[in-house]
Amino acid sequence: MEKLEADEDNLYQSKSNFLQNGGTVRPERFTFSPEPSFENIRRLQAQFTDERDWNQFHQPRNLLLAMVGEVGEVAELFQWRGEVAEGLPDWTESEREHLAHELSDVLIYLVELAEKCHVDLPQAVLRKMALNRLKYPASKVHGSAKKYTEYKD
Ligand SMILES: Nc1ccn([C@H]2C[C@H](O)[C@@H](COP(=O)(O)OP(=O)(O)OP(=O)(O)O)O2)c(=O)n1
């Protein structure tokens, strides 16, 4: 537990430190607004479905299929365009907004799927990221995209 808390501190601190990481000046990263939280999104979607009596359709498997369908819609926006640079410099405003809508659909269904599976998503993501850091120690994997199973030791 202590380890997890220390990792969480590092996680949050890294946001303000990234510009001078290791003495290397890096381009400023894109950042999100702090709100809404996952819990805010869960509550807004619960209100949306309750108002329409749609909860009866929103079982885990249906939500999973709906989410995967929306992932497909995100993929459709990228297909046949080749690799795209960060920030999507060649995309029109309308294409960017379309992408924002489709990514939001994925997130909305993901949050509701987690709710219906009783997974506390914000805490689960911290636990998983702590595991990821253990599996991929920066000192060992720096600069390599190899899967952890490909390391010999
Ligand atoms: N039974 C449903 C239907 C829709 N929605 C909500 C969640 C998604 O954010 C969005 C999905 O709506 P659509 O199924 O109409 O999908 P799109 O908005 O992607 O429209 P299209 O498929 O035409 O691109 O609406 C929902 O919660 N439950």
Domain annotation for the chain: domains and CATH numbers: 35-78+91-136 (1.10.287.1080)
pLDDT digits (tens, 9 = 90+) for 137-149: 999 899 888 877 7
Mention every residue, 6+ apart, whose C-beta is less than 8 A from residue 21. 14
Structure tokens at 128: 């998983």
**Prediction ipTM score:** 0.98
The residues lining ligand 1, judged by C-beta closer than 6 Å to any ligand atom, are 49, 54, 57, 73, 105, 108
Nearest ligand 1 atom, CA 105: 9
pLDDT digits (tens, 9 = 90+) for 61-94: 999 999 999 999 999 999 999 999 999 999 999 9
pTM of the complete model:
0.85
Query: Alpha carbon 141 to chain centroid distance?
Result: 22
Phi, psi dihedrals of residue 142, rounded to the nearest 5°? -50, 125
d(CA 7, CA 137): 12
- CB burial of 27-49 (b: ≥16 within 10 Å; e: otherwise) equals eeeeeeeeeeebeebbeebeeee
Mutate to test the pocket of ligand 1, among 58, 105, 107 (most ligand atoms within 8 A of CB): 105
pLDDT digits (tens, 9 = 90+) for 23-40: 567 778 999 999 999 999
Reported as type and span, the H/E element at residue 113 is helix 93-116
Q: Which of 95, 51, 89 is nearest to 77 (CA)?
A: 95
Residue 16 has pLDDT above 70, yes or no: no
Asked if 121 contacts 51 with a C-beta cutoff of 8 angstroms, the reply is no
